[in-house]
Amino acid sequence: MRFLKSHLEWTTFTVGLLLLALMDPSGTGVSFCLFDLAGIEYCPGKGLGHSIAYTFRGDFEAALKVHFAGPFAVLILSSRIIFLWNQLLHKSKT
């Protein structure tokens, strides 16, 4: 249980970023937005996945056009993953 708990966060973030990096940002798909599912037109995260996919392709102009937070989300999540890896590596050395 302890092993799972210590690896769950970085594994989830890594898999999520990899899936978004591999998606076709110009395609359309199913929306997972709770606002959309509730019938509300405005969704604050709409386009975030596409923006992250564009960021991984190096198309920052398209990424920022689709959703301004995409490149920042990649930076924040990548930083968190690296921080967790370092924490686990230092913990395993002791």
Cα angle: 36, vertex 43, 29; to 5 degrees = 60
Element (H, E) at 3: helix 2-22
pTM to 2 decimals?
Answer: 0.83
Going residue by residue through the chain, which has 94 residues, state the pLDDT in tens, using 9 for 90 and above: 566 666 899 999 999 999 999 998 888 777 777 888 888 888 888 899 999 999 999 999 999 999 999 999 999 999 999 999 998 888 776 6
Q: Which helix (H) or strand (E) holds 66?
A: helix 60-66
89 CA to centre of own chain = 23
